[in-house]
Amino acid sequence: MSSQAPKPASTRVDFVLNGHAVTVEIEPRELLIDVLRERLRLKGTKRSCDVQVCGACTVLVDGLPVSSCTTLCVDAHEHTLTTIEGLAGEGRLDPVQRAFIAHGALQCGFCTPGMILAVRSLLSQHAAPSDETIRHYLRGNICRCTGYVKIMEAIQDLVRDPSRYQTEQK
Amino acid sequence: MRPHPFEFHRAAGLAEALALKASHGDEAAFYAGGTELLVALKARVLQYTHLIDIKRIAELRGIRPGKEGGLVIGALSTHHGISNDPLVRRLLPAYAELSEQVGNIRVRIAGTVGGVLCFAEPHADAPTLLCALDARLRLAGADGERTLPSRDFHLGEFTTARRDDELLVSIEVPPQPEGSRAAYRCFGKAERPAVGVAAVWREEGPSRLSLWAGAIVGAPTRLVQTEKAAGELPTGLNAEQVWQRLQPVVAAEAARLDASDDLHGGADYKKHLVAVLAKRAIEACLS
């Protein structure tokens, strides 16, 4: 091991982010969360524990949740990413977002982007998850306001009656 | 915090990865899921000037049938992949269940079994069960491949029998005898097990029980006295009768383990957990 390593040349990383092709030139050591937040100015992805425990920095890579705080951006090369900014489109919210709003399933909101992306992924893998499956899947998304009951209610209702959240609630 | 700068090499095959390691030596680390290594690099506990990404190496991938009903698990298999694999679920349901309980969903999606084994953080789940199942590990180095029992692989905290220039290729779980049952039970208040116990129970014979405790000392530990006592039990006992006879042996054996206090609990508490979890694992095998 050496402490005087020369600065490595930057490397090119191509990926699809929220439906758009993106190319960044980065140092290999750069973390995905920093590229998203600082370079691409997408501040919806939150940094909290920084050790892949809390879930605030969750983004989807090919539809599956990853901790962007402990993922190298080079590993996004040739993959498809979704951040919270990419979930809503054309002025329409995602059904998960609508269910969270309808049930007041957020307090300070800091865990909410990661929580919503985790639920999005859960529902893509389990069409009708049991309460136990929901709890197990979200075990790694921590809400320090401890608003878990409302979050559970939002997801349960979305699973029970998805049509209710397909269109904007007035 | 970001890691110190490094060069990133994406190895296309096993030979290329080993050649990169040979040319960069101590300055290079193999890199796969990153759930252990990146945390250490970010905390600057470890530092490398070259990372050799092995994620695209086909030879390290896949889960397939082994000889005579055994199972071969590629080192790059993720916990998520193992827990959802039809072959693992059928042949080794205990290992599928264990994998489903590792860390959190993001760790299970990124983290690999090879990483867990080679990083050798003692507070891990898979090594304990793989020892109880008597799995063999296939390693590739510059001068060819070798296999060794997982029971000889784990040497202590963050220490294994893998040479620095070797790559773990696959884990080979031997066929389990007809009627044998395996179970792993763990407990911890954080994302890692404070203690885990794995049991494999075969129907009859002096070696009917394989019992290993993990996370309690530096490497998975065989509970030899309890295995011996189980081998001497008369046939035809129910689960309750089995446990009545084994309980004092497990408790005495756990009390002798060289455990120490750590973030996961005091030594006495963890020794107590060994007996509790042994009961749960053995009962799960016999239920």
One domain, residues B272 and B196: yes
What H or E segment, with its residue span, contains residue B26? none
Q: Express as a percent the part of chain A with pLDDT over 70.
A: 94
Domain extent at residue B83: 60-173
B39 touches A: beta carbon within 8 Å: yes
Residue of chain A nearest B103, judged by CA positions = A140
CATH number where B245 lies: 3.30.390.50
One domain, residues B163 and B185: no
Quickly list H helices, A10-164.
32-34, 95-102, 112-125, 131-137, 148-160
Structurally, chain B folds into a number of domains equal to 3
Burial B246-262 (b: 16+ CB within 10 A, else e): beebbbebbeebebeee
B38–A58 CB contact, under 8 Å: no
Structure tokens at A168: 């904007």
Task: Report strand pairing: B50-53 vs B7-10.
Answer: parallel
> If you average pLDDT over every residue of chain A, what do you get?
93
One domain, residues B41 and B65: no
Band of pLDDT at residue A105, cut at 50, 70 and 90: very high
Does the pLDDT value for residue A5 go beyond 60?
A: no
Q: Is residue B219 part of a domain?
A: yes
Mean pLDDT in residue range B133-152: 97
CATH number where B69 lies: 3.30.465.10
Whole-angstrom distance, CA of residue B161 vs CA of residue B154: 7
Quick one: pLDDT at residue A2? 47
Band of pLDDT at residue A1, cut at 50, 70 and 90: very low
One domain, residues B49 and B91: no
Q: Is residue B2 part of a domain?
A: no
B49 touches A: beta carbon within 8 Å: yes
CATH number where B34 lies: 3.30.43.10
pLDDT tens column, A109-131: 999 999 999 999 999 999 999 99
Does the pLDDT value for residue B258 go beyond 80?
A: yes
Does the pLDDT value for residue A34 go beyond 80?
A: yes
A55 touches B: beta carbon within 8 Å: yes
A36 touches B: beta carbon within 8 Å: no
One domain, residues B164 and B85: yes
Domains in chain A, CATH or no CATH each: 11-86 (3.10.20.30), 95-164 (1.10.150.120)
SS3 (DSSP) at B219: coil
Mean pLDDT in residue range B14-38: 97
Band of pLDDT at residue A169, cut at 50, 70 and 90: low
Quick one: pLDDT at residue B159? 97
Mean pLDDT in residue range B120-132: 97
Q: Which residues, in sequence order, are CB contacts of B238 under 8 Å at separation 6+?
A: B286
One domain, residues B278 and B263: yes
Chosen domain end from B173, B207, B236: B173
B2, B48, B107: residue with CB nearest A30:
B2
B105–A27 CB contact, under 8 Å: no
One domain, residues B11 and B76: no
> If you average pLDDT over every residue of chain B, what do you get?
96
pLDDT tens column, B57-107: 999 999 999 988 899 999 999 999 999 999 999 999 999 999 999 999 999
What number of C-beta contacts closer than 8 Å exist between A and B?
Answer: 91
One domain, residues B84 and B164: yes
Q: Is residue B80 part of a domain?
A: yes
